[in-house]
Amino acid sequence: MDSSGATHKDSPHIPVMLEEVLTALAPAAGEVYVDGTLGAGGYTRAILASADCTVIGIDRDPEAHERAAAWKAEYGDRLRLIHDAFGNVGDAVEQQVDGFVLDLGVSSMQIDQAERGFSFRFEGPLDMRMDTTRGQSAADLVNTMDETDLANVIYTYGDERHSRRIAKAIVEARPLTTTGQLASVIRAVLPRGKKTEIDPATRTFQALRIAVNDELGELERALEGAEKILLEGGRLVIVTFHSLEDRIVKNFFKQRSGDVSSPSRHLPAAHAEERKPTFTLQSRKKIVASADEIKRNPRSRSAKLRAAVRTSAPVWAGGGE
C-alpha cells in the first residue's frame, strides 16, 4: 500500500484510477453499490454523481464517518454509512447489491496526521490503527512480540531482507512509543544506500501497519463476502497497491472464474462440487494507472485494478448466518 503524497493540507486525497473504477463498476440508476473503503469519499461521491443510485459506504475509521455525515444533506437516503471493517461486508450489508469496490491504499489524510502514527515522516505516537478505538497498536506489537515473530512479520509483510537485524534492534531498544524512536532504531542498523533509495524504515512501517490492521485477512474475508452480497451481474472492482494484496485478488479471481490450476495459499481449497465458476473476469490482465495519472498523482504508480462480474446469484440468507 502506497504511503507517498503531499500533505492533505496542501493537496487533498485524490482517488486512484477513478475513471477506470467507474468504467468497471458501470453505475446505473436504481442500483446499489458498496464502497468498502469509504475514506475521503472519492469513489463514493463519484459513483453517486454518475447515476441516480445508492452507495453503502463502509469504513472502520471514525474520522471517515465524521466527514461523510456532512454529505447526507446532499445525498439523503442515497448514501448509507456502516461503521465496520470491510472484511465484515458479508454480514454488515443486509441486502444484495450490484457492485462492490475496494481501494486498498491507505488514505494520505490518515498518513499525514501525526497523531495516527502511520508515518515516520512525522513524530507521533506509534499507533497505526485504522480504528483507534479497537485492537492492538503498533507500539503494542513492537514492545511485546517475540523477536522471531517480529522478524517474521517484518519479512512477510514488508519484504524486508534485514528483518532479523531490525527485530533484534527493536527488542534491545524497548520500550518504543513514538514513530521517531522506531524509525531511528531501524535507520541505525540498516546500511546506508543511495540518496534515491527509499527510507530504510519504509518496509518495516508497512509491515507493522498490515499486521496491526490484519489487512490481508480483511481482504480475504471481503472477497468471500463479495461472493455473498453481489447479485448476478454484480461487479467486483479492487485496486491494490502491493504484491501481497494483488496476489490474493488474482488467485481468488482465478479460482472463482474456474481456473483452479493454481490454488491460492491464502484461501482455502475448494471442494470439487464447489468449483462451479462464480465470477467472470472483465480482463485477464491487471489494469494500471496511465502515465498522465501517475504524473498528476504519484500515489497511483503502484496501483493495480482487477475486476470481475458475478455469474450466478448466490443463495441469500439475509444479514448473515
- Measure the CA dihedral 238/240/244/247, to 10°: 40
Kind and range of the H or E element at 236? strand 230-240
pLDDT digits (tens, 9 = 90+) for 57-102: 999 888 889 889 989 889 999 999 999 999 999 999 999 999 999 9
Residue type at 94 in one-letter notation: E
* Confidence at residue 146, expressed as pLDDT on a 0 to 100 scale: 97
Q: Judge whether 294 and 300 are in contact, CB under 8 Å.
A: yes
Distance CA 246, CA 229 (A): 22
Domains of the chain: 18-109+215-310 (3.40.50.150), 131-212 (1.10.150.170)
**In whole angstroms, what is the distance from residue 283 CA to residue 114 CA?**
39
**pLDDT digits 0-9 by tens, 248-277:** 999 999 999 987 554 444 455 544 445 689
**What are the b/e assignments for 40-68, b being 16+ CB within 10 Å?**
bbbbbbbbbeebebbbbbbbbbebbbeeb
Q: Assign 3-class secondary structure to 82-120.
A: EECCHHHHHHHCCCCEEEEEEECCCCHHHHCCHHHCCCC
Other CB atoms within a 10 A radius of the CB of residue 169 amount to 17
Query: Which band of pLDDT confidence, cut at 50, 70 and 90, is reported for residue 1?
Result: very low
Greater confidence (194 vs 173) lies with 173
pLDDT band at residue 9, thresholds of 50, 70 and 90?
A: very low
Q: What is d(CA 129, CA 40) in angstroms, rounded to the nearest whole number? A: 17
Radius of gyration of the chain from Cα atoms?
Answer: 20
Name the pairing type of β-strands 54-59 and 230-240. unpaired
